Amino acid sequence: MNCGLQIDESGRYWLSCDWLPGEKAPLDTQYYLYFRHINGTQECLSYVTEPGGGRAIGCQTLFSDSSLNAIHFLVHINGSSHSRQIRATEHVYKIHDAETIPPAWNLSIKENRSLIWMKPVGSLRDDCFNYQINIWSQNKSETITISKDRHYWREDLWKSASKHHVRVRAVGKAPCWPTEKYSSWSSWLEVINNEENNGDLLWIIMTVCVFVVCLALCLLCVRLWRKIFPQIPKPKEDLKDAFRGAQHQALIRCNSWDTEEVISCIEVMGGGDKQSGVPGDNAHITD
């Protein structure tokens, strides 16, 4: 048998107990729970039954606030069966030992990056609690205990990693409890360092923009350069090309001489009836 006192959001205390049926208890066994405190004896009004059966294995019922002034309360469970006798059991609990502190709730992050949460529900004062903050990041876990203040801020926490998880729990302290009592942990809160992620994204965007601007400027400069200093047309035939053309023509003529027959002749100019003024072989000289 295990019992505890829990408080709901309205500040009401509930007694919650659970137990296991006896090994030889018949299936028709019915269990009944009674608890006794300074205001008398009360029976549980709401039972929890086992899956697939009718036997009760738990109880949840209201516990009066005035009973919290007592130091102890007694829980008694008995049973009945048609086939055999069921042995009763009972246990005495201390109020402070049985009382369960609800977890801190509504853990969130404010705009200034501070963690805030609400104290456990109920009528207990803020000075009844300290708090523990558990921070997990990059396979590293750190637990920090702070005073009654329900907020926490530390600059290096946000610079240590781009992503971490945070949870918090309440720690009951004197004079509300004679010894420290811990609540269960709240749910994990995932914290992402958006500034670091935004910084990386901004750096990438700026790099791309600078590259595009530089490329555009280079293309613009090339176009302006071509307009200001247009390319000079290349002559159709420079001296070197002319010289090469002359050599080529000479080579063609030389090759033609090898294949053609050249005939040279001397023509004698003079009439047939007229005597030449040049003395011939048959010239007669007279005195």
Give me the pLDDT at residue 267, please: 45
**Stronger pLDDT, 48 or 220, i.e. the higher one:** 48
| Domains and their CATH numbers in the chain | 2-98 (2.60.40.10), 105-192 (2.60.40.10)
Per-residue model confidence as pLDDT tens digits over 119-151? 887 767 788 888 999 988 777 788 888 876 777
Pairing outcome for strands 2-7 and 89-94: unpaired
Per-residue model confidence as pLDDT tens digits over 69-101? 677 889 999 998 888 888 889 999 988 778 888
Q: Of 265, 266, 269, which Cα lies nearest the Cα of 277?
A: 269
Confidence band of 254 (pLDDT split at 50, 70, 90):
low
Which secondary structure element, helix H or strand E, spans residue 189, and what is its range? strand 189-192
Q: Is the pLDDT assigned to residue 242 strictly greater than 60? A: no
Per-residue model confidence as pLDDT tens digits over 191-221? 776 554 444 556 678 788 888 888 888 888 8
For tokens 């009718």, the residue is 54
Cα gap 78→214, rounded to integer Å: 87
**Stronger pLDDT, 11 or 86, i.e. the higher one:** 86
77 contact partners, CB below 8 Å, separation of at least 6: 1, 17, 19, 31, 32, 33, 34, 88, 89, 90
Give me the pLDDT at residue 31, please: 92
